[in-house]
Amino acid sequence: MAYVARYESSRMSDLIADDSQKLIGGKILRGESPLNLEMPFEKLEGFITPTESFYVRTHFPIPAIDRDAWWLHLEGEVESPFAINYEQFLKLKSVTIPVTLECAGNNRNFLQPKVKGVQWHLGAVGTAEWTGVALSLLLDRAGVKANACEVILEGTDGGMLEDPKGPPGKLQFARSIPLEKARADVLLACKMNGSDLQPEHGFPVRAIVPGWYAMASIKWLQRIIVTDQPFAGYYQTIDYAYWKRRAQVGELTPLTEMQLKAQIAKPAEGETVPANSSVRVHGAAWTSNGEIAKVELSTDGGSTWNETNLLGEPQPNAWRALGVQLANVRRDGKPNAHRARNRFTRPNATGVPRC
């Protein structure tokens, strides 16, 4: 069964950066301490997001790490725990893959009523080429014990939490992934778009967890812990978790896979398209585990649809760029702004959710 979803943009005036917004290196400042920077989504041009345009998400101050003093430790439910330094890491077999990363809070600014958190608009998402070592290679070297079920990834970044629900004392940013996922496709990346990771993107080594929201792709990686029980850390079970009902019991469930989504980059939000004009529309669509087969666009509330062109070849765990030329755009003959709605199809799926 085909997988069809619909997306309608929010009010245009809510989406455009106004003159009061501060820019750093061309990105919108969403927070100074910790540093959070958003790519203006209307700057989307190609499949790969330039490193200088890629959004930045941090929870604590960016750690200053000396590559010559850095060690990555692998421990826990393994036969042979070990540590590896940066030079040793660079000698391991590497691969390069394109992966789309999206912050779990992307589009939070549009929620009504407002909720706490960084008020991202459309630009807390991007696609880069990541080069590094498969996590499975290190797990095989350590020899995972038969009772293991999860792999905890721990970053060097940490600090004190103001959240009263948080633990006392200093906390490191950490998340876990199922052992099956860790073996399947998780990458430990040391390069982004062909160059060494920049400090704000996780230098010297970060995890890339394809298809999952980016909080799982731990930056400034320092420890990998194989465990025989579910991880109950703060960023696993309190933050980046949602309530899910199982029978009559509600339980907090960790966020994992990215949801099916499409966003329009141009015309930019806030831009008025004159009636009876021809306009070029482009944007991107992505999903966590599958292929975007078709994206359609409507400017009249869903009464009529125009199929867009999907650009380039499909890549696993990466967005598809899309574009379409619309002729004689009109809405009741009035020259005002239009709302744009997408619907898109993913083959070989089993449901029809809407968003």
Q: Band of the pLDDT at 303, cuts 50, 70, 90?
A: confident
Residue 156 — φ and ψ, nearest 5°? -75, -25
Element at 148 (helix H, strand E): none
246 and 265 belong to one structural domain: no
157 and 226 belong to one structural domain: yes
Residue 52 — φ and ψ, nearest 5°? -70, -15
Q: Is residue 219 part of a domain?
A: yes
Alpha-carbon gap, residue 322 to 316, rounded angstroms: 16
CATH of the domain at 319: 2.60.40.650
Q: Is residue 62 part of a domain?
A: yes
More confident residue, 327 or 89: 89
Domain end among 254, 278, 301: 254
Nearest alpha carbon to residue 51 among 203, 156, 154, 175:
203
Alpha-carbon gap, residue 123 to 40, rounded angstroms: 6
pLDDT (0 to 100) of residue 39: 98
Beta carbons of 329 and 338 less than 8 angstroms apart: yes
Mean pLDDT of the residues in the chain = 87
What is the sign of the dihedral through the CA atoms of 64, 68, 69 and 73?
Answer: positive
169: left (phi over 0), alpha (psi -120 to 50) or beta: left
Q: Is residue 3 part of a domain?
A: no
Beta carbons of 338 and 331 less than 8 angstroms apart: yes
More confident residue, 223 or 301: 223
Q: Is residue 352 part of a domain?
A: no
| DSSP line for 86-140 | HHHHHTS--EEEEEEEE-TTTTGGG-SS--SS----S-SEEEEEEEEEEHHHHHH
Q: Rounded mean pLDDT of 139-144? A: 98
Task: Give CA angle at 336 (335, 338), nearest 5°.
Answer: 120
Alpha-carbon gap, residue 14 to 150, rounded angstroms: 41
Domain end among 201, 234, 254: 254
328 and 208 belong to one structural domain: no
340 and 223 belong to one structural domain: no
Q: What is the domain count for the chain?
A: 2
CATH of the domain at 185: 3.90.420.10
Max avg pLDDT among 9-13, 196-200, 239-243: 196-200
Domain end among 206, 234, 254: 254
160 and 219 belong to one structural domain: yes
Alpha-carbon gap, residue 59 to 172, rounded angstroms: 10
Q: Rounded mean pLDDT of 211-218? A: 98
Q: Band of the pLDDT at 345, cuts 50, 70, 90?
A: low
- In single-letter form, the type of residue at position 180 comes to E
> Which residues, other chains included, contact 47 with Cβ-Cβ below 8 Å and sequence gap of 6+?
98, 127, 311, 312, 318, 319, 321
Q: Hey, what are 309's tokens?
A: 């062109």
128 and 265 belong to one structural domain: no
Residue 348 predicted with pLDDT over 80 = no
Q: Is residue 299 part of a domain?
A: yes
Q: Is residue 232 part of a domain?
A: yes
Q: What does pTM read for this prediction?
A: 0.89
274 and 308 belong to one structural domain: yes
More confident residue, 35 or 273: 35
Nearest alpha carbon to residue 34 among 61, 10, 12, 54:
61
Question: Range of 275's domain?
Answer: 261-346
Residue bearing tokens 């995972």: 144
CA separation, residue 98 to residues 112, 116, 128, 194 (Å): 34, 31, 6, 11
Q: Is residue 176 part of a domain?
A: yes
Residue 256 predicted with pLDDT over 50 = yes
